[in-house]
Amino acid sequence: MNKPLMAKATAVWLVDNTTLSFKQIADFCGMHELEVQGIADGDVAVGVKGFDPVASNQLDASEIEKGQKNPLHRLKLKHNPAAEGEEKRRGPRYTPLSKRQDRPAAILWLVKFHPELGDSQISKLVGTTKPTIASIRDRTHWNIQNIQPIDPVALGLCRQSELDAAVQKAAKRKAAEGGAMTDDERRKLLSTETSLAMSDEPRLPSSIAGLENFSLSKDDDKPERDDNLDADSFFNLPDADDDEDEDH
């Protein structure tokens, strides 16, 4: 059964303005009977302003009258176009043909700005396959050079509420895993472009800076030395007498 818009606020209004049973209100609003009883006792929905289902064209006044006369009567929700599509989707998401060409751009945006999302989450959000997501992550997609990241919400491929829920779920999973991250995991937390732009070659520590100027011989892989250097020249200092003679 479809629920009315602002179900909890509707239940508050029905509790305050009708003599319907808790079960009737709970069935109509998609709530538990004890939760409706909590609203009546002031323990639930404190501060929530009641929402009139009759004024919002969700319920006929005649339905309320029938329900008050017969406790077994179930209230019937009127068709409300604004409530369409709010129920949870079942099965794979269908993407219109006109928007399927936008999916690579949406995937690149999600990979770049939300690297914590898993492939299965991205697949559900934009209605794509895991091989396509992998090709975008690895930048092996046939059209990767021409793909620009675009928000899937702006493209109409998913709702903002769905994206926020997926991001929060991924963040909780990361926090629950805990532990130290490996270098590969740190790379995954970066955007694809940033990760690919990083150099894989380790840098020399500052304490041994300058050693890169030494060349290695091809035979023994040891630093080449200049045989013309005289070791004594490094330790023999000019005599003091020689300096005095020069001054005179």
Phi, psi of 57 (to 5 degrees): 60, 35
Overall average pLDDT of the 118-143 stretch: 91
Overall average pLDDT of the 9-35 stretch: 91
Q: Are 155 and 106 in contact (CB under 8 A)?
A: yes
pLDDT digits (tens, 9 = 90+) for 135-185: 999 999 999 999 999 999 888 888 888 899 999 998 888 888 764 445 554
Question: How many CB atoms are closer than 10 A to CB 144?
Answer: 14
Query: How high is the pLDDT of residue 136?
Result: 93
| Residue 234 pLDDT greater than 60, yes or no | no
pLDDT digits (tens, 9 = 90+) for 61-73: 999 999 999 989 9
DSSP string, the chain: -PPPTTHHHHHHHHHHH----HHHHHHHHT--HHHHHHHHHTSSSTTPPP--TTTTTSS-HHHHHHHHH-TTPPP-PPP-GGGTT-SPP-SSPP--HHHHTTHHHHHHHHHHH-TTS-HHHHHHHHT--HHHHHHHHTT--TTGGG-----HHHHTSS-HHHHHHHHHHHHHHHHHH-SPPPHHHHHHHS-HHHHHHS--SPPPPGGGTTGGGPPBPTTT-SB---TT--GGGGT----HHHHHHHH-
pTM of the model: 0.38
| Residue 226 pLDDT greater than 70, yes or no | no
Query: How high is the pLDDT of residue 112?
Result: 92
Q: Where are the domains of the chain?
A: 7-83, 97-177
Is residue 226 packed enough to be buried (19+ CB in 10 Å), middle (13-18) or exposed (0-12)? exposed
| Residue 128 pLDDT greater than 50, yes or no | yes
Instruction: Report the C-alpha gap between 230 and 145 in whole angstroms.
Output: 59
Query: How high is the pLDDT of residue 192?
Result: 44
| Residue 188 pLDDT greater than 60, yes or no | no
Least confident span in 35-49, 91-105, 119-133, 222-236: 222-236
More confident: 131 or 174? 131
| Residue 79 pLDDT greater than 50, yes or no | yes
